[in-house]
Chains A and B, each alone.
Chain A
Amino acid sequence: MKDTVTEKLLGQSALRVEDPALLSGRGRYIDDLPVAAGTLALAFVRSPHGHAAIRSVDTAEATQAAGVVAVITGDDVAARTRSMTVGVKADVECWPMAVDRVRYVGEPVAMIVATDRYLAEDAADLVVVDYAVLEAVVEPVAALAEDAPVLHPSLGSNLINERSFRYGEPEAAFDAAAHRIGIDVTYPRSACTPIETYGVVASYEPGEDAYDVTANFQGPFSIHAVVARSLNVPGNRLRLRTPPESGGSFGIKQGVFPYMILAGIAARIAGAPVKWIEDRLEHLSASVSATNRQTRIEAAVTADGRITALDWDQIEDCGAHLRAPEPATLYRMHGNMTGAYDIPNMAIRNRVVLTNKTPTGLNRGFGGPQIYFALERLMDTIARHLGLDRLEVIRRNLIPAKAFPYRTASGALYDSGDYATALDRAVAEGGLAELYARRDKARAEGRRYGIGFACVVEPSVSNMGYITTVLTPEERAKAGPKNGAQATATISIDPLGSVTVKVASVPQGQGHRTVLAQVVADKFGLPLEAVRVLADVDTMRDAWSIASGNYASRFAPAVAGATEIAAARLRDKLAKVAATQLNISASDVLFEAGRIRSAGNPDNSLSFARVAATAHWSPGTLPDDVDQTMRETVYWTPPELEAPTAEDGVNSSLCHGFIFDFCGIEIDPETAEPRIDRYVTMHDCGRILHPAMVDGQVRGGFAQAVGAAFLEEYSYGADGSFQSGTLADYLLPTVMEVPEPVILHHETPSPFTPLGAKGVGEGNCMSTPVCIANAVADALAPEGDAPEIVLPVTAAKLAPLIFGDEPAPKEPVSETKTEDTAGGRKLTGEGRAVVQASREDVWRMLLDPATLDAIIPGSHGVRKVGETRFEADVTLGVGPVRGRYKADIDLSDLDPPNAVTLSGQAVGALGTGGGEGRITLTDTEDGTEIAYRYEARIGGKVASVGGRLLDGAAKVVIGEFFRALARHCGGGASSGAVARLRGLVDRIIKGGRS
């Protein structure tokens, strides 16, 4: 067989085979797939509190509601499942639905199975959950405090794992260094929020105790084991399938797995298949987000700017539960914690803490944004400290080209690269000199303009054993080694001789089917359209393993690589078959233009299909050393991905791409709005298989990073209330905010992958946020110390740095005010009203339940339950969010008839509220002046979706209260007010207000 065929498809930007269907509305996403007749809808009751004990869940009314088939509580789920596997050794349970206690807003508390989604959601509002609200903790450093509220009492604290690592001689390096330079970095929470939300369809067959689940899950399929264990069935009793199309994932759809368990249990209890499509509020509040992290990083630096050691102290916030595969975000980068730099010594302290926020999970960049933000901000700080050119500090520390393959201090084996050349090319071809000139000109004109840099090593193809670095070497030895990253590919030939490729890569829009058709068509000398590719998964039919799925940028290096190997094996066999039929030697066989022929004699040929189908039609004619040519399955795992060593060295990823970015940013002199002037990104992702798709990955990652840098943040109040529950609150970049980056490539093929390709999908999520931050720092402070930059960099954050703090208003503002800062979503306000009644009369009215019922807006009844305690039922609306609330009101500091303090809590399906108000009464000429001052906090759904409407709504409700009070008193001399009021109350009671 001669390997002289030019590989003409791979490396070209072939049109995508996926697109005609996707462009015409014929995609098959999960909500488009047909379901079995009788499939029911699933909806969730979710926690409005960041932290609360569940006293009781009353499902009686919901169970009776129209269309309801089942109402299922956390206890029902726990009775049929096991706690989900937690990746560290810790005495903690992790249930897919809350049992006894809720720990984040949005945590599932009950689920409804009903005949349609509308009725299921109606019934969800009827489930009455009695919560005892607990103090919440949302900041990772605060969660470590001695007196912090503890989320999981069995743990004793919120620290669920701590490990320290030491590589080389970090202490000696710091002692010997001329400088010790460090910074503290706060990295916030954000998420890549695909436009398609989660979806699950599940059924249960009691005769076989078997679950059949279809979900827009993305892998890794190690999660299949977690789900099967939790459902308490062997792996072959959990059939997991994915739809042909998925509407984006970026890591997020790994987090759908708890809902696979819940939907499975719901189907089992309901006795019918169930379907659940997540809504956007559920997605933002309760799917998964990336981790937020608090980092202290220090470097030992020589006088000439060489870094000899790093010292990391990372506090990782994984939210309310440590869900598989966390704390992987913290460990995915463990091998490449020295980035693009040749740093021989390193110390790392890693702490994982739990807080009252959504559990974390996979998210594009996975761990990279957090570490590179710290490392590259540190590089910028070192340059400032030493008064050196920033690029010069980077250059002096880059790993030299001749050092590859390069073993890092913490054990990664960087496969290939020429960082210095890539950087030089980017500087030249990306126009850095011109950018400097633009900065000089801008600064000469008094404008704020900065240039930032970032160097990143982008890991891809995760070692399935890296997460075990979180265990001690002893624990690892006991558990047995974990390593490798099995990729699978199956190529089959049907009786008509056409070729089908099947992989378990579960694409979410990346175009896998097109690239694999290129790989295989080239191998067989066929046109692209002759090869059909399937990339969705059915765990009962397909070849798969724990590493299967679409994450860690593993497609091009691992899945396409495994496919290349399978195609080569099948071609070798077909060459032998053809050699027999053509009467030539196998080494003389050529695959070209749909035919298999003699290299020496083009006329001696057969059609590919005829040779390929031989094993179906006349297996007896196959050569002796060819078993069959109908199906070839390859499992490929790279030998370089070894288990962590006894010294905690870990080759956490197979491939290591390189990125060098620089950008120019100008800050608007009037509004402090930052704007990207120019962005250049240089990538070395090894061999490029499809240039347009590679650039598509770069642009897509860049756009998400622009969002993380300027707009996106998961916002929580101190009470754990979630404040960014709509896409009007959690802002994603639009076409107006995303400039087009200049994309450059420098190819150094990976020696470790079959096609020389490396991953490319995540790099800009790692490099761009910090490159932007460095440019903003340069714009704010060209020299000397820079202010701390915390993402997202908004005009509101920059304005005080530029213009100083806003002066306090000269006169106190008597309007409502909303503060997002400390105490949740806090409303404060004050006002006054004059009523025509005496102080004593007003006082009596305020303490009388009938009066209160009449004047509280939306009241359905006020009951006096104690001398100074009232209960009320009210309906309140905030914008589109209208709901019924149960309120408890306490009166205290009574100073009759002069002043009283009202404090209260309101709880309803749409959220919670609490607050305190002081009312004072003073005599005026013809009545009483009522002055009030209040402070209120709002949580739950109203805080998540109605944030921007709350101020106005609070004003209206409070205003209505006092207007109603004034109406009660008004219209005559104050002496008659009580009589009139009594008459009114009588009328109201007799009139039977609803």
Chain B
Amino acid sequence: MPRLTKDDTHPVRFTLNGRPVSVRVSPRTLLTDALRHEIGATGTHVGCEHGVCGACTVQVDGEPARACLMLAQQAEGCAIRTVEGLGKSDALTPLQEAFREHFALQCGFCTAGILMTLDALFSRQPDAEEDAIREALSGHLCRCTGYAPIVQAALAARNRIKGGPIDA
């Protein structure tokens, strides 16, 4: 990693949802701020900026990560995936579809992070059991739903991704 100076901006290059991006930021700029305010990808939300709430979760090289605990410079050369990269603009993925069908979101603010965590989980573990799903979800705070519909949606999505019936 090149040596960075405090008061200057420096370029950082990574792919965002498959497309190469380059942005100049100061060394202390958080990845959340770079994504949201420099690039304009506002689907990733900021809830606590200290790594507890999980709202800002993105995928870095396929692994879920808190974007608020990463400096933008740390994303150099990485493949970053955010909620904007999940589906196509006119079609929801099975996971998003299941969230809609199970009313697994209300205000939607925490949802992007939860989707990125579950998407990473199912790509690693397509047959994740409910315990593993709960374990993954335990890193996220949701104040609206009481979580039960999120668990149901995750189970339904898993079944749909596996090709089984949508209802668990």
Interface: A13 (CB within 8 A): yes
Check A27 against B108 for contact (C-beta < 8 Å). Answer: yes
Task: Please report which residues of chain A, range 178-217, place their CB below 8 angstroms from some CB of chain B when the two chains form the complex.
Answer: 192-197
Task: Please report which residues of chain A, range 262-279, place their CB below 8 angstroms from some CB of chain B when the two chains form the complex.
Answer: 277, 279
A841-B167 Cα distance, complex, nearest whole Å = 80
Per the CB 8 Å criterion, the residue count for chain B at the interface is 56
Check B108 against A509 for contact (C-beta < 8 Å). Answer: yes
Looking at A15, A703, A704, the one whose CB has the most chain B CB atoms below 10 A away is A703
Given contacts A19-B99, A23-B96, contact A726 B106 (CB under 8 A): no
Check A702 against B146 for contact (C-beta < 8 Å). Answer: yes
Task: Please report which residues of chain B, range 74-104, place their CB below 8 angstroms from some CB of chain A when the two chains form the complex.
Answer: 82-84, 86-87, 89, 92, 96, 99-101, 103
Other-chain residue from A24, A27, A735 in contact with B151 (beta carbon distance below 8 A): A735
Check A279 against B107 for contact (C-beta < 8 Å). Answer: no
Give the nearest-CB partner of A507 in chain B.
B107
Interface: B112 (CB within 8 A): yes
Interface: A31 (CB within 8 A): yes
Looking at B7, B42, B150, the one whose CB has the most chain A CB atoms below 10 A away is B42
Interface: B122 (CB within 8 A): no
Interfacial chain A residues near B143, Cβ < 8 Å: 192-195, 248, 250, 700, 703-704, 732
Other-chain residue from A26, A66, A510, A738 in contact with B43 (beta carbon distance below 8 A): A26
A250-B7 Cα distance, complex, nearest whole Å = 41
Check B42 against A732 for contact (C-beta < 8 Å). Answer: no
Taken residue by residue from 7 to 47, chain B's Cβ proximity to chain A (1 for < 8 Å, 0 otherwise) reads as 10000000000000000001011000100100001111111
Report the minimal beta-carbon distance from B6 to chain A, rounded to whole angstroms: 11
Report the minimal beta-carbon distance from B82 to chain A, rounded to whole angstroms: 7
Report the minimal beta-carbon distance from B153 to chain A, rounded to whole angstroms: 10
Given contacts A700-B106, A700-B144, A736-B134, contact A20 B42 (CB under 8 A): no
Given contacts A248-B144, A700-B144, A726-B50, contact A32 B42 (CB under 8 A): yes
Check B49 against A279 for contact (C-beta < 8 Å). Answer: yes
Interfacial chain B residues near A734, Cβ < 8 Å: 137-141, 147
Task: Please report which residues of chain A, range 967-990, place their CB below 8 angstroms from some CB of chain B when the two chains form the complex.
Answer: none
Task: Please report which residues of chain B, range 42-59, place their CB below 8 angstroms from some CB of chain A when the two chains form the complex.
Answer: 42-50, 52-53, 55
Report the minimal beta-carbon distance from A415 to chain B, rounded to whole angstroms: 27
Interfacial chain A residues near B86, Cβ < 8 Å: 24-25
Check B28 against A118 for contact (C-beta < 8 Å). Answer: yes
Check A195 against B112 for contact (C-beta < 8 Å). Answer: no
Interfacial chain A residues near B87, Cβ < 8 Å: 23-24
Interface: B62 (CB within 8 A): no
Interface residue SS majority, chain A: loop
Check B43 against A727 for contact (C-beta < 8 Å). Answer: no
Interface: A468 (CB within 8 A): no
Interfacial chain B residues near A510, Cβ < 8 Å: 106
Given contacts A23-B100, A195-B141, A509-B106, contact A118 B146 (CB under 8 A): no
Check B48 against A280 for contact (C-beta < 8 Å). Answer: yes
Check A699 against B47 for contact (C-beta < 8 Å). Answer: no
Interface: A155 (CB within 8 A): no
Give the nearest-CB partner of B112 in chain A.
A25
Interface: A441 (CB within 8 A): no
Give the nearest-CB partner of B154 in chain A.
A735
A704-B141 Cα distance, complex, nearest whole Å = 11
Interface: A951 (CB within 8 A): no
Interfacial chain B residues near A196, Cβ < 8 Å: 45, 47, 107, 109
Given contacts A31-B42, A248-B107, contact A735 B50 (CB under 8 A): no
Check B144 against A696 for contact (C-beta < 8 Å). Answer: yes
A274-B105 Cα distance, complex, nearest whole Å = 31
Taken residue by residue from 106 to 136, chain B's Cβ proximity to chain A (1 for < 8 Å, 0 otherwise) reads as 1111111001000000000000000000100
Interfacial chain A residues near B146, Cβ < 8 Å: 696, 699-700, 702-703, 738, 740
A231-B161 Cα distance, complex, nearest whole Å = 56
Interfacial chain B residues near A31, Cβ < 8 Å: 36, 42, 46
Interface: A728 (CB within 8 A): yes
Check B110 against A195 for contact (C-beta < 8 Å). Answer: yes
Interface: B148 (CB within 8 A): yes
A280-B137 Cα distance, complex, nearest whole Å = 21
Interfacial chain B residues near A16, Cβ < 8 Å: 100, 103
Interfacial chain A residues near B55, Cβ < 8 Å: 195
Report the minimal beta-carbon distance from A37 to chain B, rounded to whole angstroms: 14
Give the nearest-CB partner of A727 in chain B.
B52
Other-chain residue from B7, B44, B82, B105 in contact with A19 (beta carbon distance below 8 A): B105
Interfacial chain A residues near B33, Cβ < 8 Å: 117
Report the minimal beta-carbon distance from A846 to chain B, rounded to whole angstroms: 38
Check B141 against A25 for contact (C-beta < 8 Å). Answer: no
A693-B145 Cα distance, complex, nearest whole Å = 10
Check A13 against B103 for contact (C-beta < 8 Å). Answer: yes
Interfacial chain A residues near B36, Cβ < 8 Å: 31-32
A736-B49 Cα distance, complex, nearest whole Å = 22
Report the minimal beta-carbon distance from B111 to chain A, rounded to whole angstroms: 6
Interfacial chain B residues near A250, Cβ < 8 Å: 143
Given contacts A23-B100, A280-B47, contact A703 B110 (CB under 8 A): no
Check B92 against A20 for contact (C-beta < 8 Å). Answer: yes
Check A699 against B148 for contact (C-beta < 8 Å). Answer: yes
A13-B103 Cα distance, complex, nearest whole Å = 9
Given contacts A16-B100, A24-B92, A738-B146, contact A247 B134 (CB under 8 A): no
Interfacial chain A residues near B67, Cβ < 8 Å: none
Check A195 against B106 for contact (C-beta < 8 Å). Answer: no
A247-B48 Cα distance, complex, nearest whole Å = 13
Check A195 against B142 for contact (C-beta < 8 Å). Answer: yes
Interface: A511 (CB within 8 A): yes
Looking at B41, B45, B82, the one whose CB has the most chain A CB atoms below 10 A away is B45
Check B150 against A735 for contact (C-beta < 8 Å). Answer: yes
Task: Please report which residues of chain A, range 210-252, place their CB below 8 angstroms from some CB of chain B when the two chains form the complex.
Answer: 245-248, 250
A737-B94 Cα distance, complex, nearest whole Å = 27
A511-B140 Cα distance, complex, nearest whole Å = 22
Report the minimal beta-carbon distance from A524 to chain B, rounded to whole angstroms: 25
Other-chain residue from B82, B89, B111, B141 in contact with A727 (beta carbon distance below 8 A): B141
Give the nearest-CB partner of A27 in chain B.
B108
Interface: A961 (CB within 8 A): no
Taken residue by residue from 20 to 56, chain A's Cβ proximity to chain B (1 for < 8 Å, 0 otherwise) reads as 1011111101011000000000000000000000000
Report the minimal beta-carbon distance from A816 to chain B, rounded to whole angstroms: 25
Interface: A508 (CB within 8 A): yes
Give the nearest-CB partner of B97 in chain A.
A23
Check A194 against B107 for contact (C-beta < 8 Å). Answer: yes
A444-B82 Cα distance, complex, nearest whole Å = 53
Interfacial chain B residues near A197, Cβ < 8 Å: 47
Other-chain residue from B41, B46, B101, B109 in contact with A194 (beta carbon distance below 8 A): B109
Taken residue by residue from 708 to 730, chain A's Cβ proximity to chain B (1 for < 8 Å, 0 otherwise) reads as 00000000000000000011100
Check B144 against A509 for contact (C-beta < 8 Å). Answer: yes
Report the minimal beta-carbon distance from B118 to chain A, rounded to whole angstroms: 12
Interface: A692 (CB within 8 A): yes
Report the minimal beta-carbon distance from B34 to chain A, rounded to whole angstroms: 12
Given contacts A280-B49, A727-B52, contact A24 B103 (CB under 8 A): no
Interfacial chain B residues near A248, Cβ < 8 Å: 106-107, 109, 143-144
Check B45 against A29 for contact (C-beta < 8 Å). Answer: yes
A32-B39 Cα distance, complex, nearest whole Å = 12
Other-chain residue from B28, B48, B82 in contact with A25 (beta carbon distance below 8 A): B82
Interfacial chain B residues near A20, Cβ < 8 Å: 92, 100
Report the minimal beta-carbon distance from B80 to chain A, rounded to whole angstroms: 13
Looking at B44, B89, B106, the one whose CB has the most chain A CB atoms below 10 A away is B106
A117-B36 Cα distance, complex, nearest whole Å = 13
Other-chain residue from A13, A24, A66, A195 in contact with B53 (beta carbon distance below 8 A): A195
Residue contacts A-B, CB under 8 angstroms, 20 given: A15-B100, A19-B108, A22-B111, A23-B96, A23-B111, A25-B44, A25-B82, A25-B83, A25-B112, A32-B36, A195-B55, A195-B110, A247-B108, A247-B109, A699-B149, A702-B146, A703-B143, A703-B146, A727-B48, A734-B137
Sample of 4 more A-B contacts, CB < 8 Å, known A25-B86, A696-B106, A700-B106 = A195-B53, A696-B146, A727-B48, A734-B140
Question: A-B pairs with the 10 shortest C-beta distances?
Answer: A25-B43, A509-B107, A247-B109, A22-B108, A699-B146, A509-B106, A703-B146, A727-B52, A32-B42, A25-B83
